[in-house]
Every structure is written in C-alpha cells, then in structure tokens.
Structure 1
Amino acid sequence: MTLRRLRTLRTLLAGAAALVLTAAAAGCGGADAPNAAVRPDGSVDLSKVTLRIGDQKGGQQALLGAAGELDGLPYKVTWNQFTSGPPLLEAVHAGALDFGAVGNTPPVFAAAAGSDIKIVAAADIGLTGQAVLVPKDSPIRTPADLKGKRIGVAKGSSAHYHLLTVLKKAGLGFADIQPQYLAPPDAMAALSRGGLDAWAIWDPYTAQGQTQAGARVLVDGRGYTTGYNLIVAAEKALEDKAKVAALRDYLTRQRRALVWANANVKGWGAVWSRDTGLPLAVAEEAARRRAARLIKVDDALVRNEQLVADAFRDEKLIPGSVDIAKFVDRRFNDIEVENK
C-alpha cells in the first residue's frame, strides 16, 4: 500500500470513528442533550433516574436493605461490589459510579491523584473494629515490635492511615517495616498461612480474622484515627440536577439506616451474618462495635481529613500536598435525622 493510500485510509477510519462517537453521544444523550428526568417545569421525575452505587462487603446494600430503606425507592439503583475504598473511588472518578461509601483515607489518595470527587456525607463509627491483628501466638506484643515485620494492608485504605499512626506513635515509619499491599481477602489468606506477621484491617474483616484465623488484636483504632464513614460522589453526578435529587433521598435513607442499626444490633447482625458469612455471634459483635454517630461535612471533618493527607505527604506516600477543603460539598448538611 502506498503512503498516499495509507493516509487516505487513516483519514476515512478517523472519520468513521468520529461518526460512531457522534451517534453514540446522540443516542446516550450528549453533554448538551436535555435530561429526560428533568421536566419542562424544572421538577425531577425520579422514576427516570438510576443511581450507580459502589459498595463493600457488609456495606450499604445490606444495611439499607436490613433497615427497610430500599423499599419503595422512587429511582433505580445498581450496586457494584469492591474489596476496599481505593478501587471504588477509581470507578467513581472514571465515571462508572455516581458515589460510594469509604473510610477516611481513600478520598485523600483520590484527591492526590486529581480525581473529580467530593465528600458529601459522613458518619463516625466505633474504632474497636479498626485493628492491627497478629497471629494468636505471635511474639509481637507492642507496636514497637512491628519493626522489620511483614504487615498486610490495603493501600490507600482507612487501615493504611491507622497503621501509619500506630507506627508513628511507636517512633517508626513505613521505612521501618515491610508493607505488603494486599486486598483484604488476600491478606486474610496470607495471615492464615503464616505469610504475614501482622494485618491492619477493619470490620467485618477484623472479626473474620479473629474467628477464622485465630488472630488477636495488637491495637485498635482508639486514640489513633477517626472512624469516618464517608459518602463520596463524582463531581459529574453532583452537576446533574436529577441525580442530586435522587442522592438527597438516598442520603436521607442511608442516615436513617445507620440510626436503625445502632438501635437494632441483633437484627443488623443477623443480616450482616448472612451477607458476609460470619458466624452470627461474631457479626453481632462487629455490628455493635461499628455503631455510628451522624456528623456533618464541616470544618472539623476537613481538619481531620487534612491531618490524614498531611501524614501521607510527610511519609512521601502521596505526591505533594492536598487541600481537602476543595474536595468537600456541604449542600447536604441540612439533612436532619435523629442521632441516637
């Protein structure tokens, strides 16, 4: 094929690709296309809205379902399961999800990577289920004993920050250990077969490690970290009037469900047991120690999240500084639900 014919073919292929993309945009609704869920008078038809939600094991779907808050939803919902917060927020940034629930650290790593995300709601859960586990007969007795040890942790997760604070209080840093960046199921398997000296993790995996691997808690989260459970949304979703209306309804239900779980530990534990495969007694204990306190996306939350960001910056685990204030959206703070 001559160079001239090759250039012509490339031009034709490029033109065909452009036509396909234009047709796809027209079929799916381009940026300037009207939103079918928004009526001419500006009101929203929620029946035409679909929320794409990222979830984790024993998470939002199980909680809202147990509390009866998924009954009679006026909009559609699709659920997508993840092993931890960092990949969930990658999906939010990529446009595959509208929002999801994560711990205190994934938004920091997402922000450091330039993700288009905003923290829109928050709760503070109990810290006894946030733990550094070690094998039952391990000689490790204090955080200082972690020096030089192989420690499993999900990179960019709440456990990552918890581990960092535990090490720091013991006069150590990540350079003093052998971090093993593993998803929770892989870390669980590694701890069980002796491939890890310790594991930084959260419930329900903490409970699973205690019951199925016979692990013991070296230290929990009290005095080290926050128990933030954060709802993080895509900026694109927050620019969509219809999705914002559906998200407001969802957040109201989600916050009612958290209050319900605090008052119905046995009922929530039973659902959590079925959802996670944990023994009933263990699931109930995990549910009890994750009791949530509803909080707002306020200055205190921004300050505490900034501490997380600064700690990872100082350890050179994220590139440069992150201004957390730029990654919050306070418009849903007016949602009032009784906090028992």
Structure 2
Amino acid sequence: MALRRSRPGTQRLAALAASAALVLVGCDSGSPSASADGRQQLTVAALPLTDSAALYLARDRGLFAKEGLDVRIQPVQQSIQALPALLKGQVNVIASANYVTYFQAYEKGTLDLRILAEGVRIAPHMMDVLVPRDSALKSPADLAGKKVAVAVLNNIQSLTLDAILDARGAGRPVYRQILFPQMGPALERGQVDAAHAVEPFDTAIQGELGARVLLDGGSGPARGLPASGYITTGDFVKKHPKAAEGFRRAVEAASELAARDPGAVRAELPKYAKVSADQARSIHLPGYPVTADPAALRRLVRLMRTEGLLKKDVDPAPLLVK
C-alpha cells in the first residue's frame, strides 16, 4: 500500500536526488596536476552517503592540504557509474566504493584494483529494510518473494540481506534496482514492497514518508562487514605514489576523527548530503575503521564466494596501499 503523502518529504527526497546527480559527464581530465598554490590536484567521485564522511572531513579540516593535496569531489549516484571515468583517468579515486563491485571487476580483469583506505563497516541500522507504515509485511519472513529495492543488483545490499535472511531461516525476496534517491517515491507508489535504504536516505524515508523498519540491515552476519572503501588503480599508485600515500594518511586521520567524535560526522553531513541538522542528529552512523584490515576484507570475500558473486578467492592484502 502507498505511504502517506508528505510534501516536505517529497521536497527533501528531491534535494537528495539533486545532490546525487552525476556530474562526471564532460568533466575535465582528472590527471593529477599542480594547483595555483603548488598542491597536487586529485579528483574524487563520491556518493552523498555517510560512507563519504571521512572524505569531506579530510577536505574541510585541511587534512588533504596538510599532505599537499587539493581534492576536488564529484558527486555520483552509484559508485559503479564512476568506474569508466576512473579507467580513463578522469577521476583518480572513487570514495564510498562498494567493495563487491570492485572485487568483481578485479576478478574479471577489467580493473587493476588498489584500495587506498577503508571507508566504512556495517553497523546496526546504518541501512534498513523499510516498508510502508500500513504494509501487510510484519516480519522478515514475509519478504520471501516480495519486491525489494536495492541500489545495485548482486551487490553489498542483496549480499548481506540474503545472509541475514538465511541465518533466520527465511525465504529470499526478489530485488529491483532503484537508485537511493528514488527509493522513497518507489515505495510510496507501490512499485516495490520494501526498500533496502542506506543512511542518510534511510532516516529521510522514515521521517518524511512514514516508513517503518522491517529489518535491521546491519544485524547478524552483516554486522562489522566491510562495505565500502576508497579505491583507485594500480597505474595511479605507480605513477603518483606520494599522492596515493598522502591521500591514505589524510583519510585515515579523518576516519579516526569520525570514530572518536561522531558529532563531527553529524555536523559534516548537512554540508554534502542535503539532510537537515535535525536529521543528521538522528542518523545511524556506520563504523569508521582507522586502518584497512585484510582479515575483515577476507570475510567479505568468503561471503561473496558462498553467494556465487566471486568465482575464485581474491586476496585483498596485496591490493592495500601502505
């Protein structure tokens, strides 16, 4: 059934959609060059999610400047949309990059993947399965065979949700690909039965469209799993080792700040995610690891192998930039 209509909610979701507009088309080459003050310029593609908080903190707190970097951020709706630009050198780094997508590209040989830094790990309610307030779906078991919106098919959302449902002995849903900004309207119109939304869209849909949480997407086998990172190519690291190392140090310093002071993240979110200060105060934040952990990434690889999203093991350790 449709959600109750809310004009402010529709306006807010439209703002979220605008913030995620793809602007890479027609952009100048992202090949590193020196800015007027001598800093090395880098172009980074990023989603307007809580995953990207360390990137914006590093920029706004001067951590990139401290490393001699001038970081330009290009918003995208899906990290996969930035992959062609990365391969062409139009962007140097993809932030909030869904590991599943890029491990798959690495396995297929379409990307010489390098991980500059970890982004986030899954924490309780950083993503939720949402349904209309008056939905007939009352428990996770009711999702079997129902249409659930995810941002990208066969990716971290469906991977973790399937694992959670399997652990509960529940049947699996049918996934529909819908971009995060469009999930609320799709749920409202009844195009899907549920939406697997990530923050800050999760909180926006709940607060402004009246949705309720059917299942915590950060629970059970999903909890603590690496979800996204800052990725680049082997060629970039080889040609620009100082920039790669400086970027890693700046992001790790920002991640340490985010982990130590969640208030810094909540203050940063309205600047780039188009959420209000009130919404930012109630958003469920992910975990911000200070350093990349090969063991944690191997756990993700094992789950991908179990679910058939990888045909062979991928060792993440050699892919980490140190």
TM-score (norm 2): 0.75
Quote the RMSD (CA, aligned, Å). Answer: 2.9
Letter in 1 for 2:270: S
How has the CA–CA distance of structure 1 residues 219 and 79 changed in structure 2, closer, same or farther, with 3 Å as cutoff?
same
Superposed, which structure 2 residues align to 1:11-22 within 5 Å? Answer: none
Q: Which residue of 2 aligns with 1:254?
A: 251
CA contact (8 A) 2:245 2:321 kept: no
CA distance in 2, matches of 1:253, 1:206: 28
Letter in 2 for 1:56: L
CA distance in 1, matches of 2:91, 2:276: 32
How has the CA–CA distance of structure 1 residues 136 and 91 changed in structure 2, closer, same or farther, with 3 Å as cutoff?
farther
CA contact (8 A) 1:144 1:172 kept: yes
How has the CA–CA distance of structure 1 residues 199 and 77 changed in structure 2, closer, same or farther, with 3 Å as cutoff?
same
Superposed, which structure 2 residues align to 1:77-226 within 5 Å? Answer: 77-101=71-95, 102-114=97-109, 115-122=111-118, 123-124=120-121, 126-155=123-152, 156-171=154-169, 176-220=172-216, 221-225=218-222, 226=225
Q: Which residue of 2 aligns with 1:245?
A: 242
CA distance in 2, matches of 1:125, 1:66: 25
The number of residue pairs the alignment matches comes to 280
CA contact (8 A) 1:119 1:327 kept: no
How has the CA–CA distance of structure 1 residues 259 and 285 changed in structure 2, closer, same or farther, with 3 Å as cutoff?
farther
Letter in 1 for 2:301: Q
SS in 2 for 1:294: coil
Q: Which residue of 2 aligns with 1:41?
A: none
Q: Which residue of 1 aligns with 2:44?
A: 53
Q: Which residue of 2 aligns with 1:14?
A: none
Q: Which residue of 1 aligns with 2:313?
A: 323
Q: Deviations over 1:42-90 (max 9, x none)?
A: xxxx947332212110425433244442445523333221123332345
The structure that has the greater radius of gyration is 1
Whether 1:303 aligns to 2:301 is: no
1:271: Cα distance to partner?
A: 2.4
Letter in 1 for 2:162: L
> What are the ranges of 5 or more consecutive residues in structure 2 without an aligned counterpart?
1-28
State percent identity of aligned pairs.
21
How has the CA–CA distance of structure 1 residues 321 and 93 changed in structure 2, closer, same or farther, with 3 Å as cutoff?
farther
CA contact (8 A) 1:207 1:282 kept: yes
1:151: Cα distance to partner?
A: 0.6
SS in 2 for 1:109: helix
CA distance in 2, matches of 1:144, 1:325: 35
How has the CA–CA distance of structure 1 residues 171 and 279 changed in structure 2, closer, same or farther, with 3 Å as cutoff?
same
Which aligned segments of 4 or more residues in structure 1 are displaced greater than 6 angstroms? none
Higher relative contact order (CA 8 A, sep 6+): 2
CA contact (8 A) 2:113 2:319 kept: no
Q: Which residue of 2 aligns with 1:22?
A: none
> What are the ranges of 5 or more consecutive residues in structure 1 without an aligned counterpart?
1-27, 29-34, 38-45, 333-340
SS in 2 for 1:250: helix
CA distance in 1, matches of 2:286, 2:106: 26
